[in-house]
Amino acid sequence: MTADRLLVHPSKEAGERKSRSGILIPATANVDRRLVWGDVVALGPTVRNVEPNDRVLFSPESGYEVEIRGDEYLILRERDIHAVASERSEGATGLYL
């Protein structure tokens, strides 16, 4: 990855999901302004606030889709990340907004 780019593997909730009542909502039914979580796979050298294996919250429309060895990923800029959830043991809460 170059500059401030992140390679993110989106979670399953970015595709089909179920409502609380059990109704299946297809991925093509776009819900405006819905953010999704994903796992950071790789990052560029100038990324400062995210580390590999962190879970990040982002808008799926903000990135570029890419397929690598049959798996779907998104390429995002660091500024497109809204929140980071990590398991750092530095005495912090683990959720950075």
For residue range 10-24, what is the model confidence (pLDDT) as tens digits?
887 655 667 778 887
Domains of the chain: 5-96 (2.30.33.40)
Distance of CA 28 to the CA centre of its chain: 18
For residue 83 the two structure tokens come to 């929140």
Please name the residues in contact with 27: beta carbons below 8 A apart, sequence gap of 6 or more: 14, 15, 16
Taking the whole predicted model, whether its pTM rises above 0.85 is answered as: no
Share of the chain above pLDDT 70, in %: 76
Give the per-residue pLDDT at 27. Answer: 64
pLDDT digits (tens, 9 = 90+) for 31-58: 566 788 999 999 999 999 899 999 999 9
Share of the chain above pLDDT 90, in %: 52
Whether the predicted pLDDT of 72 surpasses 60: yes
Give the per-residue pLDDT at 91. Answer: 58
